[in-house]
Amino acid sequence: MSTDQQALLDALNAEYTAVYAYGLIAAYASPERAKIVAEFTATHRARRDATADALKAAGASVPAPAAAYTPPFPVDDPIPAAKLAVTVETDTAVAWRAVVEHSTTPDLRRTGTEALTECAIRLATWQSILGVNPATTPFPGQP
């Protein structure tokens, strides 16, 4: 497997986890957050699908998502739901930053940069909701 394919595979796994986690986030998020949860879920689904397509186009096999993913902490009300969203966006940012760092083509580097930027914006949104100041993270995706 090439470096590009491995980086994309790792990003795909992060997107699988994100899509699953946003289902849990949706179940417990404050009702006033329903619109952004739906928007962010759709964005992760689209990124997941595009990543799977890119892997197929590169000749790599695309694994199925796991049946379930264990959240890193209990989620049972809106605050932990928002904190899970922060974790999800941080983890996907790490995966997409790795794509940028390890890509060997300008197109893949551009894709990684776009995805990393999207993660950083969503992360700042959730950080702001939680009252974190500053809401932005310098060098998003840095492990």
The full set of domain ranges for the chain reads: 3-60+71-129
Whole-number pLDDT of residue 137: 81
What digits encode the pLDDT tens for the residues 87-138? 999 999 999 999 999 999 999 999 999 999 999 999 999 999 999 999 998 8
Q: Is the pLDDT of residue 73 over 80?
A: yes
Whole-number pLDDT of residue 66: 96
Q: Is the pLDDT of residue 49 over 90?
A: yes
Q: Is the pLDDT of residue 56 over 80?
A: yes
b/e map of 29-63 (b: 16 or more CB within 10 Å)?
beeebeeebeebbebbeebbeebbebbeeeebeee
Class for the domain spanning 3-60+71-129: mainly alpha
Cβ within 8 Å of residue 18, ≥6 positions away: 44, 48, 88, 89, 91, 92
Q: Is the pLDDT of residue 143 over 80?
A: no
